[in-house]
Amino acid sequence: MQMSRLFAPTLKESPQEAEIVSHSLMLRAGLIRQVSAGVYTFLPLGLRTLDKITNIVREEMNRAGGQELLMPALHPADLWKETGRWQVYGPELIRFKDRRERDFCLGPTHEEVITDLARKEIRSYRQLPLLLYQIQTKFRDEIRPRFGIMRAREFLMKDLYSFDRDVEGLKESYEKMYRAYCRVFERCGLEYKAVPAESGVIGGDVSHEFLILAESGEEKLMVCQSCSYGTTREEEVCPQCQTHLEEKKGIEVGHIFQLGTKYSEPMKAYFLDRDGKEKPLVMGCYGIGIGRTMAAAIEANHDDKGIRWPVSIAPYEVAVIPVNSKKESHREQAEKVYRALLEQGFEAVIDDREASAGYKFNEADLIGFPFQVIVGEKAEKGGMLEIKIRRNGERIEVSQEGVIQLLRELKKNHGETREP
């Protein structure tokens, strides 16, 4: 992609409406634009990262045995009234009447819809366990939409639902999803903790939150540096290894629940078990905020110059920057490197704009390309290029012949994660 053709309208200054770093940088780097309060358009760079997170999530859900479907965003009130949540959910539920005066809502979550599907289609224990998921837009009428896409009224979410014969089966499905969530955030290159949590309006007896560690996080948690233990409770010593706990802040990006029969019983979602008796399906639900993960990644990975994307979710991996685009030698060598990168499967852009070197470097830092290949006087005189690593600012000289191999090594060492 040529930077002269890329639709990424950047901003020099932080917009006044931006309250947190991720909101500011997503606007400044040309990732999103606001349509109305809590409603955003994702521009090409933002959508590329959103798609990368989505693909990682999809791969891990499939790997764990999930089957993808797509449910409607439009829900009839009758389903929500069966579980009692039509009255309980509150003003966050966007309700309206159709032209025939029937009540509907825009789905903030899909327990009722998936349970309705299950009671119509699951008849026998032989169909269980079953894991069904979707990646779809949700709607919540937040009382005060804020923090950009972190707390929006319309947002992209993955929600998976498990169906089992009994509680033991539910525990197995829950553990499977717990491990899948760990892989998702590891592949996204993010530091996270999973902690026990309250179930809230979703319900169920057991739940865990997945939090990205970031100084700007709203949730306080206590973390053990010697083992994987974490909790939102006030504790001084780790109950697992007796190490002193350290206080951290986190941003919730995922939540998993053991629902049991909270939805299957009131909605009469029964199956015929191997003993010939009808029993309610035992359910779990598992959500990941896709856009919220994107914003949390920025909160955890930035500096005063801009975003420092983990390689696996960066919109592009490499920016090739000719120091002086007016110089034919700079321009030609940059094009040669750029074409070689594309041929070797790298996701690359070339900054072909007739702008100052400082302007190009500042924009590359703001957008957060993990690696910058700089083509300047050293390339012209001695065939040497310079690679800048965005995460730590390190600069490495390399020959044109060695640039591909070095970038492969840098990707591996700076967070390129395994495929499923």
Per-position DSSP letters for 5-23, written without gaps between them: T------SS--TT--SHHH
Burial class (CB in 10 A: 0-12, 13-18, 19+), 102: exposed
pTM above 0.85, yes or no: yes
Peptide bond into 129 cis (omega under 30): yes
Query: What would the CATH number be for the domain defined by 21-303?
Result: 3.30.930.10
Helix axes 328-343, 403-413, angle to 10 degrees: 60
pLDDT at position 383: 81
pLDDT at position 418: 44
Q: Where are the alpha helices (DSSP H) in 89-196?
A: 111-121, 167-187
| Cα–chain center distance at 186 | 11
To which residue do tokens 């000289």 refer? 397
Residue 45 bridge partners (DSSP) = none
What is the full per-residue pLDDT of the chain (420 aa) written as tens digits?
999 999 999 999 999 888 899 999 999 999 999 999 999 999 999 999 999 999 999 999 999 999 999 999 999 999 999 999 999 998 999 999 999 999 999 999 999 999 999 999 999 999 999 999 999 999 999 888 888 999 999 999 999 999 999 999 999 999 999 999 999 999 999 999 999 877 555 556 788 999 999 988 888 888 888 887 888 888 888 888 888 888 999 999 999 999 999 999 999 999 999 999 999 999 999 999 999 999 999 999 999 999 999 999 999 999 999 998 888 888 999 999 999 999 999 999 999 999 999 999 999 999 999 999 999 888 777 789 999 999 999 999 999 899 999 999 999 887 644 444
pLDDT at position 364: 97
Q: How many CB atoms lie within 10 A of CB 120?
A: 9
To which residue do tokens 């499939």 refer? 62
Query: What would the CATH number be for the domain defined by 316-413?
Result: 3.40.50.800
To which residue do tokens 């972190």 refer? 150
Token pair for residue 327? Answer: 């110089």
336 SS3 class: helix
pLDDT at position 145: 87
Cα 46–289–246 angle (5° rounding)?
105
pLDDT at position 223: 87
C-alpha span between 138 and 149 (Å, rounded): 12
Distances (CA, A) of 294 to 65, 220, 260, 364: 25, 20, 31, 18
Domains 21-303 and 316-413 fall in the same CATH topology: no
The residue ranges of every structural domain in the chain are: 21-303, 316-413
pLDDT at position 380: 73
pLDDT at position 417: 46
Looking at the chain, how many residues does it have? 420
| Cα–chain center distance at 394 | 27
Token pair for residue 313? Answer: 């979710």
Q: Give the largest Cα separation in the chain, rounded.
A: 83
